[in-house]
C-alpha cells in the first residue's frame, strides 16, 4: 500500500475510531506506523505504569484526547493501600511539554493533586474537557484553578471522586465571560457551592446540556436553575429535600414541565417519596434513571415511578425495589439495556430485598438487557440458566451474592452450572464477576466458552490451582484478571507465564501465592512488573527478609515497557 500518498492513508485511518484498530494498523509497516502516529488524536492508556508518559507524547504528538487509568479495580473496595500510586502529575507534565494542543483529559482511579490541576489549567490553551472518575488527592482549590484559567471549557465531569472541600468558591471562579460549558457534574462534592454563582453560570452557558448538582444544592435553587436551563438533557438533582406543600415544590414541578428534553435523571438524595411525583411528567421520556442514592424510596414508590418510564434504557436502583418492583420494571421497561441493583441495607435489619426471582423476571421481560450489576442475597442455578436463555446478549454480567461462598439455596449445590450457562449462552460476554459457592468446574466452563471475555473478577471461589489455569489457558481475549480470597497458588501463577504479557494486569489478594512464586514469575518475565504489596503493619513487624514460603497478601502484576516504577511507596516491592 505504499503507493498511496500519505494523505490518503491518513484519511482512511480517520475512519478507524477504535484504539485497537489503530494499534493494529500501526504495526503493518513503518510508513503506516508513521502516518498513524502523527494522525492519532485520541490516546488511551489503560495502565499508567505500562508506559512512560513522555514516550506516549513523543509517539503521538498530535494527541487531543488523553485517557489514563491508574489503580487496579479493587482499589474501589479499599483493597489497595492509599498511597500505592497512580499519580496524574507526570502525565500532565509530559502532556504540557509534548502535546500542548491537548483538549481533553480523562483520568480514572488516579491521584490528582491540586498542583497538577493548576498545571493543567495553565498549560493547554485549547483545553475543553476534564473528566475525573474515582480519583482523589485534590480539593476545591484545584477546581478553582480549572474554572479560572480554562477559557472555553466545555466539560467538567467529576464522577465519584474524593474531593477535599477547602471552601473556596470555586464555582464563582468561572469568569463572567465563560459561556461555553456544555456539561458540568459536581455531584460528588460534599461542600457547599455558591448557589447564586451557579445560577448565573448556567444561565449564561446556553449550550449546557448536562448538569449534575451535589447534595448541597437546595430544591429552591434547583427550581431556579431549571427555569434557566430548559434544554437540559441530563440532570442530577441536589438534595431534593422539600416539603411537598411548599411553594418551592410547586415551582419545581412547573420547571420540570418546561424541560422537555430531559432524558437522564440522577441524584435524588434525601428525596421523600411523595416528591417523586414532580418528575412524573418527565418519566415517559427518560432513558436513564439513577435512583441509587435514594434509600428513602421504598419498593411501592419506586414502582409508581417506574410505571411511567417505558423508554428506560439504563436503570440504577437500590435493592429496596424488591423482586416485585423488578417485575414491574420487566413489564414496563422493554427497552432496558443496563440494570444495576445496589445493596441498600448492608448492616441494617431490612427485609430480604432482591433474590433470583427478580432477576428472572427482568430477564423474561427485558430481552435487550446486555449489562447487569446485581447485588442479591441468594441465587439459584435454575434462575441463572433461565436468565442465560432469556438474555443471550449480555456483554457485562456481574453478580454479587452478598454472602461469600453461598451455594444454591434450593439444592445446596455450587453455582457452577448457572454461571456455566451464562458463558455458554452469551457469546459476546466481555466482563464477568462471579460470586457464591463455586468450584473449579465453573472455571472450566469459563475457559472453554467465554471466548470474548476480557475482564474476570473472582472472589471466594475455586478449589485448586486448576481453576485459575483453566482461565489462563482458555480465555484468549482476557485482559484483566482480579482474584481475591481464592485457593490459587504458585503452580497456577507460573503455569502460563506468557499469558500475562497478553493481558493488562493480574491482581491476586489473599490467595495462596508465595513470595517465591512471585520472584519466579518476575525472573521469568522481565517485561512484567510484579508488585508485592505488603501489609504495612506487618512489614514493621516482619523480619527483614521474609522467606520465600511466605504467602503474599497482595500481588499486582502488569505488563510494562517502562520497567519498575520509581514512585512506589516503601510497602510495595517490585520484584
Q: What is the footprint of other proteins within residues 369-398 (CB under 8 A)?
A: 375, 377-378
3-state DSSP call for residue 68?
Answer: strand
Residue whose cell numbers read 468450584: 439
Does residue 247 belong to the site contacting other proteins (CB under 8 A)?
no
Q: Which residue in 462, 466, 492, 518 binds other proteins (CB under 8 A)?
A: 462
What's the min distance (Å) between Cβ of 482 and other proteins? 10
Q: Whose CA is closest to 482, among 454, 449, 458?
A: 458
DSSP 246-307: SHHHHHHHHHHHH-TT--EEE--TT--GGGGGGGTTTGGG-SEEE-TT-TT--HHHHHHHHT
What's the min distance (Å) between Cβ of 75 and other proteins? 10
Taking CB under 8 A as the criterion, which residues in 255-274 touch other proteins?
269-270, 272-274
Does residue 77 belong to the site contacting other proteins (CB under 8 A)?
yes
Q: Which residue in 409, 452, 491, 564 binds other proteins (CB under 8 A)?
A: 409
Taking CB under 8 A as the criterion, which residues in 169-208 touch other proteins?
188, 192-198
Taking CB under 8 A as the criterion, which residues in 205-244 touch other proteins?
218, 220-221, 241-244
Q: How far is CA 226 from CA 90, 148, 170, 208, 219, in A?
A: 40, 25, 21, 11, 10
114-123 vs 140-149: helix crossing angle, rounded to 10: 0
Are 413 and 436 in contact, with CB atoms under 8 Å apart?
A: no
Q: How far is CA 41 from CA 17, 107, 400, 543, in A?
A: 10, 17, 38, 50
Among the listed ranges 29-37, 111-119, 471-479, 532-540, the one in contact with other proteins (CB under 8 A) is 532-540
Report the run of H or E that residue 94 belongs to, with start and end.
helix 89-98
Among the listed ranges 99-107, 139-147, 251-259, 407-415, the one in contact with other proteins (CB under 8 A) is 407-415
How far from the centroid of its chain's Cα atoms is residue 268's Cα? 21
For the record, the C-alpha cell of 358 comes out as: 427478580
What's the min distance (Å) between Cβ of 569 and other proteins? 11
What's the min distance (Å) between Cβ of 351 and other proteins? 5
CA 71 to CA 130: how far, in whole Å?
19
Taking CB under 8 A as the criterion, which residues in 88-147 touch other proteins?
134
Does residue 164 belong to the site contacting other proteins (CB under 8 A)?
no
Taking CB under 8 A as the criterion, which residues in 33-72 touch other proteins?
none
Q: Which residue in 367, 536, 561, 569 binds other proteins (CB under 8 A)?
A: 536
Q: Whose CA is closest to 35, among 14, 16, 60, 9?
A: 9
Q: Which residue in 392, 405, 516, 546 binds other proteins (CB under 8 A)?
A: 405
Does residue 155 belong to the site contacting other proteins (CB under 8 A)?
no
Among the listed ranges 92-100, 362-370, 500-508, 535-543, the one in contact with other proteins (CB under 8 A) is 535-543
For the record, the C-alpha cell of 67 comes out as: 485517557
Q: Whose CA is closest to 194, among 205, 204, 186?
A: 186
Cα end-to-end distance, the chain, whole Å: 44
For the record, the C-alpha cell of 151 comes out as: 477559557
Does residue 491 belong to the site contacting other proteins (CB under 8 A)?
no
What's the min distance (Å) between Cβ of 246 and other proteins? 8
Taking CB under 8 A as the criterion, which residues in 338-367 touch other proteins?
342-352
Does residue 516 belong to the site contacting other proteins (CB under 8 A)?
no
Does residue 292 belong to the site contacting other proteins (CB under 8 A)?
yes
Number of residues near other proteins (by CB under 8 A): 85
Does residue 537 belong to the site contacting other proteins (CB under 8 A)?
yes
Q: How many residues comprise the chain?
A: 575
Does residue 399 belong to the site contacting other proteins (CB under 8 A)?
no
The residues, ordered by sequence, that sit 6+ positions from 200 with a Cβ below 8 Å of its Cβ are none
Q: Which residue in 6, 10, 115, 553 binds other proteins (CB under 8 A)?
A: 553
What's the min distance (Å) between Cβ of 147 and other proteins? 16
DSSP 399-419: EEESSTT---TTT---SHHHH
Amino acid at each position: 500500500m505504499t503507493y498511496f500518498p500519505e494523505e490518503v492513508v491518513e484519511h482512511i485511518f480517520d475512519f478507524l475510531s477504535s484504539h485497537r484498530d489503530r494499534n493494529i494498523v500501526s504495526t503493518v509497516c513503518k510508513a503506516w506506523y508513521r502516518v498513524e502516529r502523527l494522525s492519532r488524536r485520541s490516546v488511551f492508556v489503560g495502565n499508567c505504569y505500562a508506559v512512560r508518559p513522555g514516550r506516549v507524547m513523543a509517539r503521538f504528538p498530535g494527541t487531543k484526547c488523553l485517557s489514563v487509568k491508574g489503580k487496579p479495580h479493587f482499589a474501589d473496595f479499599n483493597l489497595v493501600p492509599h498511597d500505592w500510586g497512580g499519580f496524574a502529575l507526570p502525565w500532565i507534565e509530559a502532556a504540557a511539554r509534548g502535546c500542548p494542543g491537548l483538549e481533553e483529559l480523562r483520568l480514572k482511579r488516579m491521584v490528582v493533586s491540586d498542583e497538577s490541576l493548576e498545571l493543567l489549567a495553565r498549560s493547554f490553551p485549547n483545553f475543553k474537557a476534564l473528566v475525573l472518575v474515582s480519583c482523589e488527592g485534590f480539593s476545591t482549590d484545584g477546581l478553582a484553578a480549572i474554572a479560572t484559567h480554562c477559557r472555553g471549557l466545555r466539560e467538567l465531569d467529576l464522577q465519584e471522586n474524593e474531593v477535599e472541600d477547602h471552601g473556596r468558591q470555586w464555582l464563582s471562579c468561572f469568569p463572567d465571560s465563560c459561556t461555553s460549558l456544555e456539561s458540568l457534574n459536581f455531584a460528588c462534592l460534599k461542600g457547599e457551592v455558591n448557589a447564586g454563582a451557579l445560577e448565573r453560570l448556567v444561565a449564561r452557558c446556553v449550550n449546557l446540556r448536562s448538569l449534575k448538582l451535589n447534595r448541597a444544592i437546595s430544591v429552591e435553587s434547583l427550581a431556579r436553575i431549571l427555569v434557566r436551563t430548559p434544554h437540559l438533557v441530563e440532570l442530577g438533582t441536589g438534595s431534593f429535600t422539600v416539603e411537598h406543600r411548599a411553594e418551592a415544590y410547586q415551582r419545581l414541578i412547573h420547571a420540570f414541565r418546561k424541560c422537555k428534553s430531559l432524558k437522564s435523571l440522577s441524584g435524588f438524595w434525601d428525596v421523600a417519596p411523595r416528591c417523586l411525583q414532580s418528575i412524573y411528567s418527565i418519566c415517559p421520556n427518560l432513558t436513564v434513571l439513577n435512583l441509587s442514592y435514594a434509600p428513602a424510596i421504598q419498593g411501592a414508590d419506586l414502582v409508581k415511578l417506574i410505571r411511567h418510564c417505558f423508554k428506560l434504557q439504563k436503570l440504577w436502583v437500590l435493592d429496596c425495589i424488591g423482586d416485585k418492583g423488578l417485575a414491574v420494571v420487566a413489564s414496563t421497561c422493554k427497552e432496558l439495556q443496563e440494570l444495576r441493583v445496589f445493596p441498600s441495607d448492608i448492616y441494617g435489619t431490612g427485609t430480604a430485598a432482591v433474590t433470583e426471582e427478580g432477576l428472572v423476571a427482568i430477564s423474561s421481560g427485558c430481552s435487550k438487557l446486555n449489562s447487569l450489576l446485581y447485588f442479591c442475597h441468594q441465587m439459584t442455578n435454575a434462575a441463572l440458566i433461565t436468565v442465560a436463555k432469556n438474555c443471550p446478549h449480555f456483554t457485562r454480567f456481574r453478580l454479587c451474592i452478598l454472602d461469600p461462598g453461598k451455594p444454591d439455596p434450593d439444592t445446596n449445590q455450587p453455582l457452577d452450572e448457572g454461571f456455566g450457562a451464562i458463558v455458554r449462552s452469551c457469546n459476546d460476554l466481555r466482563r464477568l464477576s462471579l460470586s457464591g459457592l463455586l468450584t473449579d468446574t465453573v472455571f472450566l466452563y469459563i475457559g472453554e466458552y467465554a471466548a470474548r471475555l476480557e475482564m474476570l473478577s473472582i472472589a471466594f471461589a475455586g478449589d485448586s490451582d486448576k481453576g485459575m489455569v483453566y482461565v489462563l489457558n482458555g480465555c484468549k481475549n482476557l485482559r484483566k484478571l482480579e482474584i481475591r480470597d481464592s485457593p490459587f497458588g504458585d503452580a497456577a501463577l507460573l503455569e502460563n507465564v506468557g499469558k500475562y504479557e497478553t493481558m493488562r494486569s493480574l491482581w491476586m489478594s489473599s490467595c495462596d501465592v508465595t513470595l517465591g512464586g512471585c520472584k519466579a514469575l518476575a525472573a521469568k518475565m522481565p517485561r512484567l512488573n510484579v508488585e508485592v504489596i505488603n501489609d504495612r503493619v506487618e512489614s514493621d513487624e516482619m523480619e527483614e527478609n521474609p522467606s520465600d514460603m511466605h504467602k503474599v497478601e497482595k500481588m499486582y502484576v502488569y505488563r510494562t515497557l517502562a520497567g519498575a516504577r520509581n514512585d512506589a511507596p516503601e510497602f510495595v516491592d517490585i520484584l
